[in-house]
Amino acid sequence: MRRWQRCLVVSSLLFVGCGGAATPELQLVEDAAEAIGSLRALRETTTLVIDGQGRTYRLGQNKSPRSDLPYYEVENYRLQIDFANERWRLRQDRTSTFLTGSPLYGVRQTYGLDGDVAYDAQGEGTVRASEQIAADRWAEMYHNPVGILLLALDETSTVSNLREEEGQQVVDVAGASGTQFTLFVDGETGLPSKVMSSTYHPVLGDVAIETLFEDYAETGGLGGFQTRLTLPRGYATSLDRFRVSEYRVSTSPNGPIDDLAAPAGARSAAPATATVTVEVEEVAGGVWYLTGQSHHSVLVEFAEYLALVEAPQNEARTLAVIERVRALRPDKPLQYVINTHHHFDHSAGIRAVVSEGLTVVTHELNRSFFEDIVARQHSIVQDALARNPQPLTIETVTGDEMYELTDGRRTLQIYRIVDDAHCDGIVMVYLPRERILIEADAYSPTSREAPFAEVLLRNIEDRGLRVNTILPIHGGISELEDLESAVRTARPPAD
Ligand SMILES: [Zn+2]
């Protein structure tokens, strides 16, 4: 709706005059623009360069479902935004503060958006990200006081529903694309205090993303050509109840900026989509290794039923693995899915598992996590469980006790990996007759480093397990000697 149309509609409904801003909502936006500098200075601001340092957190990778997220220390953070062309690019150097199978220090990350093209630097090149990521990155451009005020002042946007919440003035801002934002303005300073929007997360479902703007100060006017504005020196972003990033920054409005066009390779590529490849190898009679991508599963056949270890990555992969399992043994019901641990890349298929009516077996430390995951709302995208709601059926491994499935001939045992620094409620699966061990993340043969291998080996020895073959959820079929040599050559983790 054009400004003058909105003015007519609002004034006829609410008897609000049209001197100054057309609506109380726009008045709030214009006042906030004055608070950060002036309405004119804001309208003249087309680009920002934001430099700083901070932390980014690894969502879904905490040591236990309720503990703090692990994080990277970030240096050389530079976010460049070109609002007029809807382009931005972020570059940062991350150093992990947690143990990992990858290099720890100063790993550069570069990614961005150019209109509807989201791209990520990868090795020497660039790959195009999915449409969902592009939509999320488009919204991210407005989790910034300049961005959200420019969007609110755009004539194709709608600003509505002025209200007061927690002592703040609040309005809803919808861009022409329909994406909704909520802008909070501090009642005392008149400055934007936070922006919220919603998105879809495959594990958490409908989630709010909230960015707090903290510690406003006037920007420098280097060389006299930059616009002076009062902008935050602190940004803190949360997704659902999790803090996902925080930065301390300085900002240059309308300063020199790089060419932010998407690299040609990403621009000409199709958006990434979830493709699924499932390859099957029978490792022993009635034991199949289901591979094909980064996260594998293992199928074990019993006299009356089938049990699957791991439903990883996403719904699409898990449903494809289940379909393959049913094709392998069409006459036996798939009854159990054993989950190694709660990390999102290993649990993202559990809602699909529940929608299929299967029983989840995991450590008791993960029970409330899965109860929450199954209960969450998935309305922005309706996943398999939203389309076909089923109750969670769950069985759990207690403490350090063994959990066993057996039909007298085949036996499958589940043990917690005690003292694993990667995850508290992580389990390994042992087939005593076949001398096969199935484990996730404790030993991944493809990783350069093996910081958790020693603890895995000690668990195998302490339990007296007679392992010949290891089927890792990441990597390929290995022998016990491979694990032993990884332990011998493992460098001690850096502080
Ligand atoms: Zn993990």
Task: Name the residue among 273, 266, 270 with its Cα closest to residue 114.
Answer: 266
Task: Name the residue among 69, 248, 39, 249 with its Cα closest to residue 146.
Answer: 39
pLDDT tens-digit profile, the chain (495 residues):
344 344 444 444 444 444 467 899 999 999 999 999 999 999 999 999 999 999 999 999 999 999 999 999 999 999 999 999 999 999 999 999 887 656 677 799 999 999 999 999 998 899 999 999 999 999 999 999 999 999 999 999 999 999 999 899 999 999 988 899 999 999 999 999 999 999 999 999 999 999 999 999 998 755 555 678 999 999 999 999 999 999 999 999 998 999 999 999 999 999 998 889 999 999 999 999 999 999 999 999 999 999 999 999 999 999 999 999 999 999 999 999 999 999 999 999 999 999 999 999 999 999 999 999 999 999 999 999 999 999 999 999 999 999 999 999 999 999 999 999 999 999 999 999 999 999 999 999 987 778 899 999 999 999 999 999 999 999 999 999 999 999 988 755 554
Q: How many residues does the chain have?
A: 495
Q: State in Å: Cα 416 to ligand 1 middle.
A: 14
Q: State in Å: Cα 442 to ligand 1 middle.
A: 8
pLDDT of residue 226: 60
Burial tier of 214 (Cβ tally within 10 Å: 0-12, 13-18, 19+):
middle
Tokens 């039923």 belong to residue: 305
- Is the Cα torsion angle 126, 130, 132, 134 positive or negative in sign? positive
Q: State in Å: Cα 100 to ligand 1 middle.
A: 10
Other C-beta atoms closer than 10 Å to the C-beta of 455 total 18
Task: Name the residue among 70, 75, 55 with its Cα closest to residue 102.
Answer: 70
Q: State in Å: Cα 422 to ligand 1 middle.
A: 6
HSE-CB for 154 with a 13 A CA cutoff = 18
Interatomic CA distance for residues 266 and 373, integer angstroms: 34
Q: State in Å: Cα 184 to ligand 1 middle.
A: 37
Q: State in Å: Cα 286 to ligand 1 middle.
A: 27
pLDDT of residue 8: 42
pLDDT of residue 99: 78
Q: 223-229: which pairs have CB atoms within 8 A and are 24 or more residues apart? A: 225/254, 225/255, 226/252, 226/253, 226/254, 226/255, 227/37, 227/41, 227/44, 227/45, 227/253, 227/254, 228/37, 228/41, 228/253, 229/36, 229/37, 229/41, 229/42, 229/45, 229/146, 229/253
Q: State in Å: Cα 64 to ligand 1 middle.
A: 10
Interatomic CA distance for residues 441 and 450, integer angstroms: 9
Q: State in Å: Cα 187 to ligand 1 middle.
A: 44
Are β-strands 393-397 and 403-406 bridged in parallel, bridged antiparallel, or unpaired? Answer: unpaired
Identify the helix (H) or strand (E) that includes residue 458. Answer: helix 453-462
Identify the helix (H) or strand (E) that includes residue 359. Answer: strand 359-363
Enumerate domains of the chain plus CATH numbers.
3-268 (2.50.20.10), 279-489 (3.60.15.10)
Q: State in Å: Cα 72 to ligand 1 middle.
A: 16
Q: State in Å: Cα 230 to ligand 1 middle.
A: 42
Q: What is the DSSP letter of 171?
A: E
pLDDT of residue 14: 44
303's tokens: 């006299």
Q: State in Å: Cα 344 to ligand 1 middle.
A: 8
